[in-house]
């Protein structure tokens, strides 16, 4: 190995070296990172909701049972049962009754949970 400095090498070889490095860096950066599998609606329910709500009955546990939720006219806050109101309710909660989950569930998880609740 010689002791010549990097700047005194052939400019063409430096150009190609840097071009190849830039190309490989571009390829690596353009690949999307491996995504972790998203939890199912049932997984989210059992992790976040089951401690307070039954899924297989309408009786109250700490909060109301959620079986047949979408066949009801209103939520406990008096608003009609629909995706938008349920999303709002899950995200914001109801002071003194249910905590909001806006900091622990992202919108995709909330939507997945709502789709699961429709099946109860």
Taking only the tens place, the pLDDT of each residue in 94-111 is 999 999 999 999 999 999
**Which residues contact residue 54 at a Cβ distance below 8 angstroms, ignoring those fewer than 6 apart?**
61, 65, 66, 67
CATH topology of domain 41-117: Cytochrome Bc1 Complex; Chain D, domain 2 (1.10.760)
pTM confidence score:
0.70
pLDDT in tens, 72-101: 999 999 999 999 999 999 999 999 999 999
CA–CA separation, 79 and 22 (whole Å): 56
């Amino acid at each position: 190995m010689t002791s010549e400095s990097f700047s005194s090498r052939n400019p063409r070889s430096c150009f190609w070296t840097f071009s190849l490095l830039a190309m490989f860096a571009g390829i690596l950066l353009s690949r999307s990172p491996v995504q972790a599998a998203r939890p199912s609606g049932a997984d989210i329910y059992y992790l976040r909701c089951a401690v307070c709500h039954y899924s297989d009955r309408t009786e109250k546990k700490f909060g109301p049972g959620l079986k047949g939720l979408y066949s009801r006219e209103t939520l406990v806050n008096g608003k009609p049962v629909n995706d938008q109101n349920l999303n709002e309710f899950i995200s914001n909660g109801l002071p003194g009754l249910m905590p909001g989950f806006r900091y622990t569930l992202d919108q995709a998880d909330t939507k997945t949970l709502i789709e699961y609740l429709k099946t109860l």
